[in-house]
Amino acid sequence: MNFFSRINFFSQRRFCWLLLLIFALSWEIIALFFQHVMMLRPCVMCIYERVVLFGIIGAAMLGFISPRNVMIRWFALAIWTGNVIFGFKVAIQHLNYQLDSPFFRTCDTSVDFPSWIPLNRWLPWIFEAYGDCSEVLKYLGLSTPEWSVIIFVANLFLITLTVVAQFFSSGN
């Protein structure tokens, strides 16, 4: 069995999707810890990155339900891919807010969710932004958007391998 066949085989197991779920949920818990225990104020971009992680959690839960069902697996992969691409774009934009000169460091002052899903009103303790996007806070030597870029690049790498592997026999 070659490398991609093994990845395809693994993607058809609940354990694969459970790992993705644990990964995304762990980052959500870390973000909430920083916000509510360390009292760090999330900015608009932080909240959008948080929403993306919830999207990845949703994809992982869907994939976990029936990973051997081709349609469900592809739908979960599509949700994961879409969220990762959007998250990467948001993380890069967030990083640019911190790298640009102070005169150009502006982001929205409040989140902009669709009227049919006002997450910031339903769950303000998770989705309300009241921080400044240009504020640089470092953890283990990297800023929040730098960590986000790393997370989303790692996800882009994994999702690319997983999608390519779907075109190889899983050996089942």
Query: Residue 104: what are its φ and ψ, rounded to 5°?
Result: -110, 5
Which residue has better confidence, 68 or 139?
68
Number of domains, the chain: 1
Q: pLDDT tens-digit profile of 105-154?
A: 667 777 888 889 888 888 888 888 887 777 777 888 888 889 999 999 99
pLDDT in tens, 33-57: 988 898 888 888 889 999 999 999 9
Flag whether 138 is in a domain.
Answer: yes
Is residue 75 a part of any domain in this protein?
yes
Looking at per-residue confidence, does 125 or 91 come out higher? 91
Between 76 and 94, where is the model more confident?
Answer: 76
Residues 57/24, Cβ–Cβ less than 8 Å: yes
> In terms of pTM, does the model score above 0.75?
yes
Q: Is 136 helix (H, G, I), strand (E, B) or coil?
A: coil
Residue 30, in any domain of the structure? yes
Does the pLDDT of residue 172 top 70, yes or no? no
In which domain, by residue range, is 39 found? 3-112+134-165
Evaluate whether residue 52 is within a structural domain.
Answer: yes
The alpha carbon dihedral of 32, 34, 35, 41 has a sign of negative
Q: Kindly list the catalytic residues.
A: 43, 46, 50, 107, 133
User: Is pLDDT larger for residue 8 or for residue 20?
Assistant: 20
The two structure tokens encoding residue 53: 């992680």
In this structure, the number of other CB atoms found within 10 A of the CB of residue 97 comes to 20
Residue 98: which CATH number?
1.20.1550.10
